[in-house]
Amino acid sequence: QNVTLTLSLGKKFEVTYVSLQFCSPRPESMAIFKSMDYGKSWVPFQFYSTQCRKMYNKPNKAVITKQNEQEAICTDSHTDMHPLSGGLIAFSTLDGRPSAHDFDNSPVLQDWVTATDIKVVFSRLHTFGDENEDDSELARDSYFYAVSDLQVGGRCKCNGHASRC
C-alpha cells in the first residue's frame, strides 16, 4: 500500500534539494515527484529502490547524459534497512546533471528544477523477511513509515532579479 506526502509550495520555485529524515527504517522503495501546474499533473524527479527494474521499470544507477538530463533515474542508494532510525534520503536536483555547471544557460535544467508542488510516495517497506510467515497480515500491520523531517530547498522562480518572493 502506497503512502503519499504532498507539499504545496504555492508558487513556482527552482527546487535544489528534497531531504527526508526517518525515525523508522528507510523505505525499500520510494519515489519523488514534482508538479509544475499546482498538482494537476506529476513528473518523476527521482526513484529509490533495491529493485529499480521491478518497481519502476528503470535500470539501477543509469548514466545521466545531456540527452536524458531531464529524466528521473532510479538508484538503490539509501534503501538499506539500516540504520533502523535516523536514516536520511537526500535528493539533489542538479547532482550528476551534465549542464549543471552552466545552469543559467540551460533552459532544460531550469525547467527540470521548476516545481509548484512536491510529492513523495513510499511504495514498499522493509519487512525483515516477515512477509514469508503464516501470519503475514499481522506482521505487516506492525510496520510503518515514520518521517521526522522533510526539507525542500530552493529559490523563487524570478530569474534571480526579485529582492523577495
Query: Domains, the chain, ranges and CATH?
Result: 3-156 (2.60.120.260)
Give me the half-sphere count of Cα atoms (radius 13 Å) on the Cβ side of residue 105: 4
161 versus 112: the higher-pLDDT residue is 112
Q: Which residues contact 75 (CB under 8 A, 6 or more apart)?
A: 46, 47, 48, 52, 60, 61
Check residue 89 and give its pLDDT.
Answer: 86
Kind plus residue range of the DSSP H or E element containing 136: helix 136-141
Read off the pLDDT of residues 12-69 as tens digits, 9 standing for 90 and up: 999 999 999 988 888 888 999 999 999 999 999 999 999 999 999 999 999 999 999 9
User: Do strands 147-156 and 43-49 pair parallel, antiparallel, or not at all (unpaired)?
Assistant: unpaired
What does the pLDDT look like over 63-100, one tens digit per residue? 999 999 999 999 998 676 666 777 888 999 999 999 99
By the 8 A CB rule, do 34 and 91 touch? no
C-alpha grid cell, residue 68: 536524458
Residue type, 9: L
